[in-house]
């Protein structure tokens, strides 16, 4: 099954799912000291929502926080005093996306965060410039190395890799409106609440980019080569600053 989008042809029979599922089982990915997601049967009076426990049906409560329990997409509402919902950000659910791979570099002596691992703007720009991306409104950034263990990585308290703030100007000036990354955040785990990269990406509060989104905690498998893809980005219909999401990409043929 094939489709044509922006003068490119894609094979819809070979989807590549970039999402990390929210699960109540261990091990599971975790960030920002947010409790692990929990799935447990509903109990009300004599009713129990578990066939294994003698109930008539399976009916589970799910407790999670999208920012730390799996792949999620967030909007400017994540950093704004006003309420903005990621559910209202999308008019198009299919878009052209550029997948690039970048290795983080350590900040040198005397730098603002000495010893931290950051995605550097020069490295990111070099990865982007290898491709023709004029039709792309989304960028998918895979960090290297890329072990499968990212699917269950414990980021809490480990000051995981993040983006140099200048990367946000590079990304938005290149025309990308949707940023997808396998990192838990575009900003440092603890930065005193500055969230500079978030603010630069959304241009908040000066002139907020209300239709722009950031998707975090994805996983881009190794067999997915850098280049142009068709991206289907869907979020759960939740009126919140962030929502669980399932980005799926399709390769050019």
State pLDDT tens for residues 209-229: 999 999 999 999 999 999 999
Q: Look up tokens 């100007």; give the residue.
A: 169
- Strands 178-181 and 138-144, by their bridges, are parallel
Q: Which distant-in-sequence residues (6+ apart) come within 8 Å of 159 by Cβ?
A: 116, 188, 189, 190
The per-residue DSSP string of 170-237 comes to HHHHTT--EEEESSS-SS-S-STT--HHHHHHHTTTTS--TT-EEEES----TTS-SEEEEEEEEE-S
DSSP category for residue 87: G
With H, G, I as helix, E, B as strand and everything else as coil, classify residue 8: strand
d(CA 188, CA 41): 36
pLDDT of residue 114: 79
Q: Which distant-in-sequence residues (6+ apart) come within 8 Å of 53 by Cβ?
A: 41
Per-residue pLDDT averaged across 111-119, rounded?
A: 83
pLDDT of residue 20: 98
Per-residue pLDDT averaged across 64-75, rounded?
A: 98
Task: Evaluate whether 74 touches 201 at the Cβ level (below 8 Å).
Answer: no
Give yes or no for a cis peptide into 27 (omega within 30° of 0): yes
DSSP category for residue 252: B
Per-residue pLDDT averaged across 198-216, rounded?
A: 98
pLDDT band at 109 (very low <50, low <70, confident <90, very high): low
Least confident of 77-91, 96-110, 178-192, 204-218: 96-110
CATH number of 2-20+70-251: 3.50.30.50
pLDDT of residue 112: 65
DSSP strands (E only) in 83-137: 94-103, 105-106, 117-119
State pLDDT tens for residues 175-198: 999 999 999 999 999 999 999 999
Q: Look up tokens 């603002």; give the residue.
A: 112
> Residue 234 pLDDT more than 90?
yes
Taking all residues of the chain, what is their mean pLDDT, rounded to a whole number? Answer: 96
> Residue 51 pLDDT more than 70?
yes
Structure tokens at 123: 């490295």
> Residue 240 pLDDT more than 80?
yes
φ, ψ (nearest 5 deg) of residue 196: -60, -45
State pLDDT tens for residues 11-37: 999 999 999 999 999 999 999 999 999
pLDDT of residue 106: 86
pLDDT of residue 1: 83
Per-residue pLDDT averaged across 40-59, rounded?
A: 97
Q: What is the dihedral of CA 234, 1, 132, 166, to 10 degrees?
A: 20
Task: Evaluate whether 227 touches 252 at the Cβ level (below 8 Å).
Answer: yes
CA angle 242/207/32 to nearest 5° reads 30
> Residue 113 pLDDT more than 90?
no
Domain positions in the chain are 2-20+70-251
Percent of the chain, pLDDT > 70?
A: 98
Closest CA to 128 of 165, 87, 100: 100
> Residue 166 pLDDT more than 80?
yes
């Amino acid at each position: 099954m094939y489709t044509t989008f922006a003068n490119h042809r894609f094979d819809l029979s070979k989807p590549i799912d970039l999402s990390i599922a929210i699960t109540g089982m261990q091990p599971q990915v975790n960030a920002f000291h947010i409790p692990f997601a929990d799935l447990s049967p509903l109990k009300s009076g004599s009713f129990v929502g578990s066939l294994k426990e003698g109930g008539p049906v399976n009916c589970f409560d799910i407790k999670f926080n999208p920012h730390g329990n799996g792949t999620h997409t967030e909007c400017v509402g994540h950093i704004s005093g006003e309420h903005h919902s990621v559910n209202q950000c999308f008019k198009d659910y299919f878009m052209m996306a550029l997948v690039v791979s970048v290795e983080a570099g350590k900040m040198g002596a005397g730098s603002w965060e000495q010893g931290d691992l950051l995605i550097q703007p020069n490295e990111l720009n070099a990865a982007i410039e290898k491709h023709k991306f004029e039709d792309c409104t989304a960028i998918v950034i895979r960090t290297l190395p890329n072990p499968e263990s990212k699917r269950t990585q414990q980021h809490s308290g480990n000051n995981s890799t993040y983006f140099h703030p200048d990367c946000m100007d590079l990304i938005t000036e290149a025309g990308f409106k949707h940023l997808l990354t396998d990192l838990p955040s575009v900003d440092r785990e603890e930065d005193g609440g500055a969230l500079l990269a978030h603010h630069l990406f959304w241009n908040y509060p000066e002139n907020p980019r209300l239709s722009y989104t950031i998707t975090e905690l994805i996983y881009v498998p190794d067999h997915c080569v850098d280049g142009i893809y068709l991206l289907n980005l869907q979020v759960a219909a939740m009126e919140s600053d962030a929502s669980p999401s399932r980005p799926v990409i399709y390769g050019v043929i």
